[in-house]
A = this chain, B = another copy of it.
């Protein structure tokens, strides 16, 4: 293998795939990046067997890719990325010599890195499915950002570490829950060619995907098999395994009625909860109390060692009963962060039932949070 390319183009390709490089693994080849040079294309691939990212470029005036001998090699990701990052913005030549020793040359600099036979690199999952859907990048990104954070970090129930994605009769839905909070978002769109489907995708994978999605209307092609999904972002292929199993039926958890409905500005309560959380301690689940009296919402928290805090916010509208409730401030702040600086409707059913947050105008889905039971 022998090719040359402009340093910024190669660096970008390495950065795109870097998140799929295995960090801790006894299999050394998984800590590498596969480089494949063909006639006028260069492909970089990283695959930790859960997440795989592949990026391809074709020769153009900017990248100045010039492949003189097609071939492939696996190079250690950490060193390769650091070496390329520290080279000047100039033409870089890469060639494989004997025993996979690879030369990286740029001006007066010449590195040699020990490579690994490309044959040892694992094959990415194959996709020939007709289960596919086209989504706008911006929409997909919004859906990811407003749901995946609510998934569980604990492997106690692996299925809850995933985000449940369903396309049913023209409705696309994303749902994530860790058992104490739930985030869900839906949209309808008619795509006559799309069959109903369902998949549980690791939420960590979706967060990494989000990093690669442009905030515009680029069309992302999503494909599914029984075990994997593939997101095609231009020349970048993003593979992730699916989580096996049946996702719990979350529809029953969302209350249909409420005893109190409050309309209030997101930012004003987020600031109040953020301040109250300063006194709330980790070991008490960041517990903040809310007392609703008329339109007055009073957030408070206290700690015997540190002190206490109390802050009142006036709701713009309130219907139903007065009540008190306590909640995990972190959960509520995560949920409120989904909404822009706008008014939300919060629906409560007393002190011991979950409450929901939704936007007044516009649809960015529903956030549900279980209260902390007060002592």
Verify B312–A76 contact, CB threshold 8 A: no
Q: Give, as a whole number of angstroms, the nearest-CB distance from A103 to chain B.
A: 9
Within 8 A of B (CB), among A101-148: 101-102, 108-114
Residues of B contacting A89 with CB < 8 Å? Answer: none
Residue-wise interface mask of A (204-229) relative to B, using a CB-CB cutoff of 8 A (1 in contact, 0 not): 00000000000000000000000000
Verify B87–A306 contact, CB threshold 8 A: no
- Given A109-B272, A272-B109, CB of A278 within 8 Å of CB of B83: yes
Q: Give, as a whole number of angstroms, the nearest-CB distance from A150 to chain B.
A: 24
Query: Does chain B have a CB within 8 A of A82?
Result: yes
Query: Does chain B have a CB within 8 A of A79?
Result: yes
Verify B307–A87 contact, CB threshold 8 A: no
Pick the residue among B87, B309, B311 that contacts A275 (CB under 8 A). B87
Within 8 A of B (CB), among A130-176: none
Q: Give, as a whole number of angstroms, the nearest-CB distance from A327 to chain B.
A: 19
Query: Does chain B have a CB within 8 A of A27?
Result: no
Q: Give, as a whole number of angstroms, the nearest-CB distance from A111 to chain B.
A: 5
Residues of B contacting A88 with CB < 8 Å? Answer: 271
Verify B109–A311 contact, CB threshold 8 A: yes
- Given A108-B313, A312-B108, CB of A79 within 8 Å of CB of B306: yes
Query: Does chain B have a CB within 8 A of A308?
Result: yes
Verify A112–B275 contact, CB threshold 8 A: no
Verify A310–B110 contact, CB threshold 8 A: yes
Cα A275 to Cα B107 with chains together (Å):
13
User: Which residue in chain B gives the minimum CB-CB distance to A114?
Assistant: B307
Verify B76–A309 contact, CB threshold 8 A: no
Query: Does chain B have a CB within 8 A of A361?
Result: no
Residues of B contacting A272 with CB < 8 Å? Answer: 108-109
Query: Does chain B have a CB within 8 A of A305?
Result: yes
Residues of B contacting A101 with CB < 8 Å? Answer: 307
Query: Does chain B have a CB within 8 A of A274?
Result: yes
Q: Give, as a whole number of angstroms, the nearest-CB distance from A294 to chain B.
A: 15
Within 8 A of B (CB), among A260-280: 271-272, 274-275, 278-279
Cα A76 to Cα B309 with chains together (Å):
15
Verify A309–B279 contact, CB threshold 8 A: no
Pick the residue among B102, B111, B305 that contacts A114 (CB under 8 A). B305
Verify A309–B112 contact, CB threshold 8 A: yes
Query: Does chain B have a CB within 8 A of A86?
Result: yes
Cα A311 to Cα B109 with chains together (Å):
4
Within 8 A of B (CB), among A22-52: none
Cα A112 to Cα B305 with chains together (Å):
11
| A-to-B contact residues, CB < 8 Å | 76, 79, 82-83, 86-88, 101-102, 108-114, 271-272, 274-275, 278-279, 305-313
